[in-house]
Amino acid sequence: MSDLPVIRLRPKSKPQAIRHGFPWVYADEAVLDRRTRGVAPGALAVLEDAERRPLGLVTVNPNSKIVARVMDADPEARIDAAWLEARLARALALRERLHDAPFYRLVHAEADGLPGLVIDRFGDHAVIQPNAAWADGMAGAIADALVNVTGVTGVILNGQGRARGLEGLGERMEVLRGTAPERPVPVTMNGAVYMADLMGGQKTGLFYDQRPNHAFAQRLAGGGAVLDVFSHVGGFGLAMLAGGASSALCVDGSAPALELAQQGAQAMGAGDRLEVMRADAFYALEALAAEGRRFEVVICDPPAFAPSKPALEAGLRAYERVAKLAAPLVAPGGYLGLCSCSHAADLTAFRNVSARGIGRGGRRGVLIHTGQAGPDHPTLPQLAETGYLKALFFRLD
C-alpha cells in the first residue's frame, strides 16, 4: 500500500482525536499542498500526523470541508469486496438482533464504519445513499456486496440531498441491481402500515429513525383525536391510529406523501379514521386554532430547520414558533410532541426553545419523555452529527 498518496495533519492539529475514534479531518487541519489537492475525490490515502506517524487509511475529497474520512484504522487495509462485505455483515448482525423483519436502517454511515453511506432495507430491496465521493464511486461494488451479504434482489441508488452537494456530487437516481418495485412497499412498524415509495419518495422512501418515538406516542393516544403536523407518509398519525386513537389528522405540504398516508391507513383498516390536509404547516396550525380545534395529542416533526451552524439561530426561532402555534391546539391534560432532526441544534438548545414556545403559546407543561433515533441508527460517541434526532414529549395543563 506504499504507493498510496499521503495526507498529513498540520502541526497544531490533534491526532489524538483520530486515534480515539473521530472519523473526519477538516480542510483546515490538513496540509493541502498541490499534490494533495490533486488527489481525485474519493481516492484512498494514508493519513499521518505531523511527525509522519500513520493514523489510518482515509478516503480523500479535496473539494469538501471534510477533506478526509477514516475508512480503517489499519493503514494497510484493502478496501475491496471482502472489506465491504465484512462491514455489511457486521451491520446486518446488529439489525437482525434488533428486528424480526427485514425493514430497518442497515447502514448508518460513520457509526457503522462506512463513512458517508446510508442504506435502508425494505425486504427484498435496499436503497443506498452514497453521500461521500468514495461511496458514490464504489456504488456498484457496494450493491454487489449488499446482494451477497443480505440476499436482497433489488438495489436502488438515491443520489439526492444536501449532503451530496457539500461533497461536490451531482444528483442521480438509478436502479443498480435487479428491478425497482412497481408500487409502494408496505412496511409494518408498531402495528401501523406505511407505504414506502422507493423511487419517488423523500430520502430513501421512509424514515425508520422515529420508530421508538412512534411507539411512545401510541401510549399517549388513548381513544382521543390526534394531530400529526409535517406528517410525511403518516408517521406519528398512523402509529397513533394503530394505538387506538379515535381519529388522526395528518398535515403535510406534499400531496403524494398524503396519498401514501391514506393508502397506509386503508391497508391497516383505519381509512375512515384518517383525515389529511395539504397545507403549509404554519398556516395549518394557525387555521386549526382559529377553528377552535383541540386534540388529545399533537405531534410536530418538521424537516431540519438548522441543518448547519450558520442556520442555527434562524432554525431555533422556527422551532420556537412551531411550539408556540402547536401548544394551544392541545386539549387540557393532553400531550405535545416536538421533534428536531437538526444536528446543529443540540438537545439543550432545542429543549429550551420548545419550552419557551409552549409558554409563549399560553400553556404550561412538564417534560415527560425524551426520545432519540432507534438503535438501528447507532450514534458514534465522537461524532455528534450521528445523534441528530431529538423528540420531546410534554404534558400540558
Residues belonging to the active site: 341
CA distance 10 to 306: 30
- Helices marked H in the chain — which ranges? 15-19, 34-37, 81-98, 133-137, 139-150, 162-166, 211-221, 235-242, 255-267, 281-290, 312-326, 347-360
**CB-based contact 250:278 (threshold 8 Å):** no
Closest residue by Cα to residue 111 from 374, 391, 302 = 374
CA dihedral 221→392→164→12, nearest 10 degrees, is: -160
Query: To 5 degrees, how large is the angle CA 241–CA 244–CA 249?
Result: 35
DSSP type of residue 102: S
Strands 247-252 and 274-278: parallel
Cell of 325: 402555534
What is the sign, positive or negative, of the torsion defined by CA atoms of 248, 253, 254, 255? Answer: positive
Neighbouring-strand partners of residue 347: none
Distance separating the N- and C-terminal Cα atoms of the chain: 65
DSSP 207-227: --TTHHHHHHHHHHHTTSEEE
Q: Give the CA distances from residue 376 to residues 104, 106, 212, in Å, rounded to whole numbers and listed in that order.
A: 7, 7, 11
**CB-based contact 371:212 (threshold 8 Å):** yes
DSSP 137-151: HTHHHHHHHHHHHH-
CA distance 261 to 255: 10
CA distance 324 to 382: 34
**CB-based contact 83:129 (threshold 8 Å):** no
Q: What is the separation of C-alpha 260 from the centre of its chain, rounded to a whole number of angstroms? A: 20
